[in-house]
Amino acid sequence: MFRLCSLLAVLALLPLRSAEPAPLRLGLIGLDTSHVIAFTKTYNDPAAPNHVPGGKVVAAFKGGSPDIESSASRVEGYTKELVEKYGVKLYDSIEALAQNVDAILIESVDGRPHLDQFRRTLAAKKPVFIDKPLAGSLKDAVEIVRLAREHKIPLFSSSSLRYPPESFAARFAKIGDITSVYSIGPAEYEPHHPDFFWYGIHCVEALYTVLGPGCVSVQRTHSANTDVITGVWSDGRVGIAQGNRKTFKGYGVTAVGTKGVATAGEKQNYHGLTVEIMKFLQTGLSPVAPETTLELIAFMEAADESKRRGGAPVTIAEVLKKAGAK
pLDDT for the residue numbered 306 = 98
Contact 302, 318 (CB under 8 A): yes
Cα distance between residue 185 and residue 36, in whole Å: 22
Average of per-residue pLDDT across 58-69: 95
**Could you tell me where the DSSP H helices lie in the chain?**
2-13, 35-44, 69-72, 75-86, 94-99, 114-119, 138-151, 168-171, 201-211, 271-283, 290-308, 316-322
Residue 44 reports pLDDT greater than 70: yes
Residue percentage of the chain with pLDDT more than 90: 91
Confidence at residue 244, expressed as pLDDT on a 0 to 100 scale: 96
**In this predicted model, which residue has the larger pLDDT, 326 or 32?**
32
pLDDT of residue 19: 63
Q: Which among 151, 138, 176, 165 is positioned nearest to 295, based on CA atoms?
A: 138
**pLDDT tens track for 33-42:** 999 999 999 9
Is residue 5 over pLDDT 80? no
The per-residue pLDDT for 2 is 44
Region 163-181: mean pLDDT is 95
> Is residue 74's pLDDT more than 50?
yes
Q: Inform me whether the pLDDT recorded for 122 exceeds 70.
A: yes
Query: Which whole-number Å values give the CA distances from 150 to 29, 44, 154, in the listed order?
Result: 22, 33, 11
Which stretch of 10-24, 206-220, 222-236, 283-297 has the lowest confidence by average pLDDT? 10-24
Q: Which residues lie closer than 8 Å to 82 by C-beta, 6 or more apart?
A: 28, 31, 36, 37, 40, 57, 60, 88
- Cα–Cα distance for residue pair 120/125, rounded to 1 Å: 10
What was the pLDDT predicted at 326?
87
CATH architecture of 165-268+296-322: 2-Layer Sandwich (3.30)
Is the pLDDT at 10 greater than 70? The verdict is no
Q: Are 61 and 97 in contact (CB under 8 A)?
A: yes
Alpha-carbon span 312 to 164, nearest angstrom: 33
Superfamily for domain range 24-126: NAD(P)-binding Rossmann-like Domain (3.40.50.720)
Q: Where is pLDDT greater, at 213 or 326?
A: 213
Confidence of residue 3 (pLDDT cuts 50, 70, 90): low
Say what the pTM is.
Answer: 0.92
pLDDT of residue 97: 98
**Taking all residues of the chain, what is their mean pLDDT, rounded to a whole number?**
94
- Written as one letter, the residue type at 188 is E
pLDDT given at position 117: 98
Higher per-residue confidence, 9 vs 216: 216
- Mean pLDDT, residues 65-78 taken together: 94
What are 199-208's pLDDT values in tens digits? 999 999 999 9
pLDDT tens track for 254-306: 999 999 999 999 999 999 999 999 999 999 999 999 999 999 999 999 999 99
List the domain boundaries for the chain.
Answer: 24-126, 165-268+296-322
Residue 53 has pLDDT above 50, yes or no: yes
